[in-house]
Amino acid sequence: MLELIPAKPKSLDRYIESVGEEPIETIRSLAAKLDDARILHVNATSFGGGVAELLATAVPLMRGLGLDCDWQVMFGSDDFFNVTKTMHNALQGMEVAWTPQMEKTYLDKVIDNVARLDTDYDFVVIHDPQPAAMLHILEYETQQLPRGKWIWRCHIDTSDPFLQVADFLFPMIEPYDAAVFTMSDFVPSGYGLPPVTLIPPCIDPIALKNVRLNPATVRAIWESYDVDYDRPTLCQISRFDPWKDPLGVIDAYRIAKEEVPDLQLVLAGSMATDDPEGMHYLHRTEQHAAGDPDVYIFTNAHGVGSIEVNAFQTGADVVIQKSIREGFGLTVSEALWKRTPVVAGNVGGIRMQIEDGEGGFLVDSIEQCGEACIALLKDPTQRMARGNHAHEFVRTRYVTTVLLEKWLNLFVELSTPD
């Protein structure tokens, strides 16, 4: 068996205060139609990054609805994850060196995982490129498709991929019963993909990362990291990754600091097991900060977890998400939920979360990012108005119950005879 991630059932009743009773009843009605279905989610890591975070909420809730839902993580290796990180970058448009040996490394490791895979499920959801070849390999080895409905969930923007890698991966997606993307713009053209469903990610409003913290708790957490709670602060919560552009965030902070001299910047992110470039880019970020005492760089190695992220997003004057490419960017909705305005890259799924000029600003350059931060930092009334608007926007579109309803709808559709 693959690595099974424990998940205790979680009741939907806990969400009534956040979303009301009507969405809860809709979800229960959908779950009743699935009648004890067995569901399996497979991905590459149990922590670090948005996919693991989504599954950590969705799987317990599905179990709480009476569905037999499991979450399993594939076994990897340094060589494998180096290859899949290259795939990840290439599928988002980066030109990479791609070789037959890399294809072999990828396929050999997926074959090893398939040998451990239990396929006795009604629905199997395979997340992202790392395990994507599983169904193709099963079909090749047995000359038939396994039972149940198989779904590939792509969490990244593959609208303009590097063709050598795309031509390797996407033909292996064709046997799936459905492909799920965050938005239609992300779907690549020219491949025989299965029917596409659009399901954007969502935040968990009652998770420790998103619950309301009182100001005394926020202050105490900031002070425990020697960050001055009483000074104006920008914050970005992201992996240390070139697509998240932490170096550009530092440059934008420097522009804003010229107008707001006592400004601080907090950069915090998790180091995920399936991201071998993370440590390298963390070091680059630290070097780019050039010893500035007002730039604070933290990771989970410093004890930064859910409650610390919550405190930094809640207490910051402005949250930045200056991505160059972005599948969705859950940290945007997290910050907006906390009524903190966001300045973010005008890319990918971020555009779905920010009404430009309402809950924050969409920007296309370092200069625009710095200028937008200055405008918000200098106008507390504007910050509050944008934050209140943004909270309501997220509540109706990007919370867990919306996500769960969309997934159950897809399962019901796939189980309904044509």
pLDDT in tens, the chain (418 residues): 899 999 999 999 999 998 889 999 999 999 999 988 999 999 999 887 789 989 999 999 999 999 999 999 999 999 999 999 999 999 999 999 999 999 999 999 999 999 999 999 999 999 999 999 999 999 988 778 888 999 999 999 999 999 999 999 999 999 999 999 999 999 999 999 999 999 999 999 999 999 999 999 999 999 999 999 999 999 999 989 888 999 999 999 999 999 999 999 999 987 766 666 778 889 999 999 999 999 999 998 889 999 999 999 999 999 999 999 888 888 999 999 999 999 999 998 999 999 887 889 999 999 999 999 999 999 999 888 888 888 989 988 999 999 999 999 999 999 987 6
For the record, the structure tokens of 391 come out as 């909270």
Strand order in the sheet with 264-269: 295-299, 264-269, 233-237, 318-321, 342-345, 360-363
Residue 72 gets which letter from DSSP? E
pLDDT for position 273: 61
Report CA-CA distances (Å) from 317 to 229, 306, 391. Answer: 10, 19, 15
pLDDT for position 173: 97
Residue 317 CA to residue 360 CA, distance in Å, equals: 12
The runs of H, that is alpha helices, within 115-172 are: 134-142, 163-169
Q: Is the dihedral of CA 395, 346, 163, 280 positive or negative?
A: negative
Strands (E), 289-334: 295-299, 318-321
User: Token pair 């390298």 is at which residue?
Assistant: 280
pLDDT for position 274: 63
Q: Is the dihedral of CA 405, 411, 417, 418 positive or negative?
A: positive
pLDDT for position 389: 87
β-pair partners for 361: 343
pLDDT for position 414: 97
pLDDT for position 78: 93
The CATH code that applies to domain 3-202+399-415 is 3.40.50.2000
For the record, the structure tokens of 401 come out as 């119950």
The CATH code that applies to domain 215-397 is 3.40.50.2000
pLDDT for position 271: 74
Is 266:298 a contact under the CB 8 Å cutoff? yes
The Cα angle at residue 98 between residues 94 and 99, in degrees rounded to 5: 180
| Stretch(es) of the chain classified as CATH 3.40.50.2000 | 3-202+399-415, 215-397
Report CA-CA distances (Å) from 35 to 23, 75, 116. Answer: 19, 31, 27
pLDDT for position 384: 87
Residue 354 CA to residue 342 CA, distance in Å, equals: 8
